[in-house]
Amino acid sequence: MDRAAFAAQLRRTAPLGDAELAALDGDVRIRRLRARETFLQAGDHAVDCGAVLVGLTREYYALDDGREVTRNFAGVGDYVGSLSDLISTRPARSSVVAELDSVIAVVPWRRIRELVARHAAWAGFVARITERLYLAKGEREYELLALDAEARYHRFRSLYAALEPVIPLRHVASYVGITPEHLSRLRRRLGITARAARPGSAARRRTRRPGAPLRSSTRSS
């Protein structure tokens, strides 16, 4: 059912027919990532894109001082993979990591490019994705340049309402562009209470043996 869910998601983005989907089917693979497992590491060459079927991923920049600046999140129904790094021939600038146990339908980017060259429907699909990313980039620039911290936080909550309870507050703070301490003060002033521990606690993750097989905490359809 993972592949069926992926096909349905592709069709929600663009009107792809059976023939267009069949041309891709042999190149689709399903990756199951544990929380904190990497989908893309900065410095590597980005070669894969995909869609989140279960879980949550985060794209971020790692700074020289050890801080991480969150670029965006991708939950169920969202696409994952840094388009700028996929298009570029340079090593990736951003990293993508699973924040929860996740299931991702993965496709090689080179195959998408081949399909775009052969099928008008696939060209339309990539055009829609690119348009969405361009609009999202414009909104993100507006937030960071024109809004104060409280307004940025409200916009974050409107965008990621379903995901916020499971996103660590330090990542929320980096996305909003403030320190965790500033975010804590802002939440108190807004009357937002502390949250319960999210699924997949850090303590449990630390006890997993290296190389232990994946056991997804969420059953996929």
Q: Could you read off the pLDDT of 4-25 as tens digits, one per residue?
A: 999 999 999 999 999 999 999 9
pLDDT tens column, 26-45: 999 999 999 999 999 999 99
| Edge-to-edge order in the sheet of strand 102-108 | 29-33, 102-108, 48-54, 79-80
- pLDDT-based confidence at residue 195 (cuts at 50, 70, 90): low
What is the chain's Cα-based Rg?
Answer: 18
Q: Map out the domains of the chain as residue ranges.
A: 2-119
pLDDT tens column, 139-182: 999 999 999 999 999 999 998 888 888 999 999 999 999 999 99
Question: Could you tell me the fold of the domain covering 2-119?
Answer: Jelly Rolls (2.60.120)
The tokens describing 108, both together, are 């090689």
Q: 148 versus 201: which is more confidently predicted? A: 148
